[in-house]
Amino acid sequence: MTSPLFRAATPLLLAALLAGCGSKATKEEAGEKSEAAEKSEGSEKADTIKLTPDQIRTAGIEIVRPSVGANGGAIELPATVEGSPDGTQVVSASIAGRVVALNRNLGQTVRRGEPLAVIESREAASLKGEVEAAQARFALAQSNYAREQRLFAERVSPEQDLIAARTAATEAGIALRLARQQLSATGGGGGSLNRVGIVSPLSGQVISRTATLGQTVAADAELFRVANLTTVSLSLSLSPADAGRVRPGASVTVTATGRTGQARVTFVSPALDPQTRLVPVIATIDNRAGQWRVGEPVTAAIQLASTADATVRVPLTAIQTVNGKSIVFVRTDDGFKAVPVTLGAQAGDTVVVASGLTGHEQIAAANSFTLKSELGKGEGGDDD
């Protein structure tokens, strides 16, 4: 039989036991939470580097934003500098004869219509003689026509004589224009009756001269080449897949030893070259400074057309490797944070980031390796 005193003490004893257990559980739970928080804080500290803006500038760290779908990348390939198709012309002898004067030499400039050489020829004498004869016939026909007009007005000559005189004057004028055009096709000028001048068809520079003083040349023989080299062309060949992403107007970065320039794509062939099975592409580059020479091999980086997707690209200098993983240093309020990323295809000096970045961050690019070194100090090691 239980005493009344024991029955009264039992509830108090249970309450004390429960309170003790609860206090112990609370302490254990608080301890676990504190330990987890410390681990989380330690992990966060291991991935962050605190730097002031002055320290960032002193370290030479470049901060950029990733490009999102705005850059389709670039293709680097060899190219050759060529004269502009509409800026280079061959100057030929239109008639056979003997070269009696050379007015321009290699490298000299010339204006359109200025004489490059003079040719002495019997054909030239014949053409100039025909022009003079046509002028005389035209003058006579005009005089007869004026006389018939006067006689017809005085009612002395019939109308049919006036019509015949007018027709003769018209035909004489046509013959004179034809004779002048034939002489003009040879170059014209030259001074003497048996000489014609070979004139430049455009303003530019003499880049080739095959004529020699006293040489007898045949009709259509090449004497000079004149080029306007203020603009030159680049000859490139692309695979059909790459050509499909190149549009007229695309930017091309041209590099050679000690020189860099910008060109623009002006033509993408709709047909493959039957020999190479590649797509011919032409770009033009400003050459007013004269730094590009025809026939020179260069390297061209063609900017590909952008895509409509949200592809994130970053400079190669922004990618660092730590513990076998690719990371990017993302700018924070008080420094940088190392963010693991998954990389995709590389194009030129950029690489696709498949995951890890949204494209709205600010990241460290040039000299980001200094951040990797600081991160390694914090972790007690560095792994490339």
pLDDT band at 163 (very low <50, low <70, confident <90, very high): very high
Helix and strand element counts for the chain (H, E): 6, 24
Average pLDDT over residues 76-98: 84
CB 229 within 8 A of CB 203: no
Right CATH number for 74-86+228-303 from 3.40.50.2000, 2.60.40.420, 2.40.30.170, 2.40.160.20?
2.40.30.170
pLDDT > 90 in the chain, percent: 21
CA dist 79 and 126 (Å) reads: 50
Could you give the CA distance from residue 145 to residue 358 in angstroms, rounded to a whole number? 89
3-class secondary-structure state, position 141: helix
pLDDT of residue 265: 92
pTM of this prediction exceeds 0.75? no
Extract the runs of DSSP E, i.e. beta strands, from 20-157.
48-50, 63-64, 67-68, 74-83, 88-92, 97-102, 109-110, 115-120
Residue-wise pLDDT tens digits, 43-73: 455 688 888 888 888 888 888 888 776 555 6
Q: Which CATH number fits the domain 90-121+194-227, given the four candidates 2.40.50.100, 3.40.50.720, 2.40.50.140, 3.40.190.10? A: 2.40.50.100
**Residue 3 reports pLDDT greater than 70:** no
Burial 213-233 (b: 16+ CB within 10 A, else e): eebebeeeeebbbbbbbebbb
What is the CATH T-level fold of the domain 124-191, as seen in this structure? Helix Hairpins (1.10.287)
Query: Considering only the top CATH level, what class is 47-71+309-379?
Result: mainly beta
Spell out the domain ranges in the chain.
47-71+309-379, 74-86+228-303, 90-121+194-227, 124-191
The secondary structure of 2-30 as a DSSP string is --HHHHHHHHHHHHHHHHHHHHHHHHHHH
pLDDT score recorded for residue 342: 92
Residue 138 scores a pLDDT above 90: yes
8 A C-beta contact, residue 201 and residue 176? no
Per-residue pLDDT reduced to its tens digit, 313-341: 888 989 999 888 999 999 998 899 999 99
Residue 293 has a pLDDT of 87
Average pLDDT of the chain is 80
Secondary structure of 230-246 as H, E, C letters = CEEEEEEEECHHHHCCC
